[in-house]
Structure 1
Amino acid sequence: MAEKPNAKERGKCGRGLPLTPFARDRIRRDGLQAHCRECVARYSAAHCRRRRAEPGREDRPGRGYGLTRAECDQVTASQGGVRRVCLSAVPAHVDHCHETGRVRGVLCFSCNAALGQFKDQPDVMRRAAAYVEGNAWKPTLVAPGVYQLPS
């Protein structure tokens, strides 16, 4: 059986290093990533800087929905400058209907994600609200002596 090497050559800078600066990678034959942690961090930081510097990136908050910055600001102004669901701070995420693709408004990340998790189903949201209010499992009187449990 071959003995494992105690050093590895870096891919980006080409220096020989001990194995400790390399992260594990089960897919690779030697069990280590091709590049040391330092090179990976340097590449990631440069990649993030390049992405942030893309022209028009900050000017298009609703870029996936064809909205310009001015249109997003107009929607925000029509909402009174606050988030429609939680009514706090400045909204930053465009909300849309998943069936029609129509933009409904601008929300905070948390409210937008919550609507998505509830799959835009009002009955599910009502049950969630009833659950939070503490009356989700109280039976409803349908007829004399007949109760219905919420489903």
Structure 2
Amino acid sequence: MSDLTEPPGKACPQCKRVLAYSEFHRDRRRVDGLAFYCKACANARSEASRRKRGIGPQKRSPTAVGEGLKWCPDCEQIKPLDEFPTTTAKASGRHSYCKPCHNARGKETAQRLYGGTREYHLRRRYGVGEKEFQELLAEQGGVCAICGGTDPQHLDHDHRTGWVRGILCFNCNGGLGQFRDSPMRLARAITYLRGTTWQRALIHPGVYQMCSPTRGRPPSRRF
């Protein structure tokens, strides 16, 4: 009588072996949560693909890596897991390179593809480059589009549409964000300030008088 019980593991379609589940990498995209090939076959296929593309052999730690630790192929050091950036793209939840090496690789890629991190940041987030930034700033006369301050460095955009609106200084850009880009909130803030702040009123041509607020109360006496 044939044994109809399921095998105590999973079969690898390449080496044809039935192996324990621990011999397969995790893969959240698959129904069983495990990779198609076993770890040994997956590594061999990966190395063959790298050689075919002209990439050198994958580096591996020369010594055993303990629990809660990870080896960085760039600096070739074993570090705690919290020294590696988090990611949801890998089953381990951590990037392959430690934070300093990961950042260095990012800067090198931005420099190689975009000529610098600023160009990369502008292109990736706003869809414009440094050339367009400088052109828009020149149209504004080289000053903040709101307060007229010199040397503004913040590119303002509509958060709903992504449409670039202008170049602002740090304070004006942050102010719009705090007011959630709402004209109604800004109008109410203007009304509030006019009613609670001392104002200079024109009472005669060339003659001004300071007027007290219409709302609020004076500060308490200090003892």
TM-score, L = length of structure 2: 0.39
Aligned residues with identical type, % of pairs: 34
Residue-by-residue CA offset, 1:46-96 (whole Å, 9 max, x unaligned): 345335534214346642333232222111011110111232232222222
Letter in 2 for 1:49: K
Is 1:128 the counterpart of 2:186 in the alignment? no
Aligned position for 1:53: 111
Question: How has the CA–CA distance of structure 1 residues 22 and 74 changed in structure 2, closer, same or farther, with 3 Å as cutoff?
Answer: closer
Letter in 1 for 2:141: G
Residue-by-residue CA offset, 1:14-40 (whole Å, 9 max, x unaligned): 8889xxx786xxxxxxxxxx9xxxx94
Residue-by-residue CA offset, 1:104-134 (whole Å, 9 max, x unaligned): 2111344223212312111211333444566
Aligned position for 2:35: none
Is 1:12 the counterpart of 2:89 in the alignment? no
Question: How has the CA–CA distance of structure 1 residues 51 and 110 changed in structure 2, closer, same or farther, with 3 Å as cutoff?
Answer: farther
Q: 1:88 aligns with which of 137, 146, 149?
A: 149
Question: How has the CA–CA distance of structure 1 residues 104 and 41 changed in structure 2, closer, same or farther, with 3 Å as cutoff?
Answer: closer
C-alpha distance in structure 2 between counterparts of 1:135 and 1:84, whole Å = 26
Letter in 2 for 1:138: R
SS at match of 1:12: strand
1:19-98 aligned within 5 A:
40-50=98-108, 52-56=110-114, 57=116, 58-59=118-119, 62-63=122-123, 64-98=125-159
Structure 1: give runs of 5+ residues left out of the alignment.
Answer: 1-7, 24-33, 140-151
RMSD: 4.2
In the alignment of these two chains, the number of paired residues is 119
Do the aligned residues in 1 keep the contact of 2:144 with 2:150 (CA within 8 Å)?
yes
Do the aligned residues in 2 keep the contact of 1:75 with 1:106 (CA within 8 Å)?
yes
TM-score, L = length of structure 1: 0.52
Letter in 1 for 2:101: Y
Structure 2: give runs of 5+ residues left out of the alignment.
Answer: 1-65, 83-93, 198-213, 217-223
Do the aligned residues in 1 keep the contact of 2:156 with 2:173 (CA within 8 Å)?
yes
Is 1:111 the counterpart of 2:191 in the alignment? no
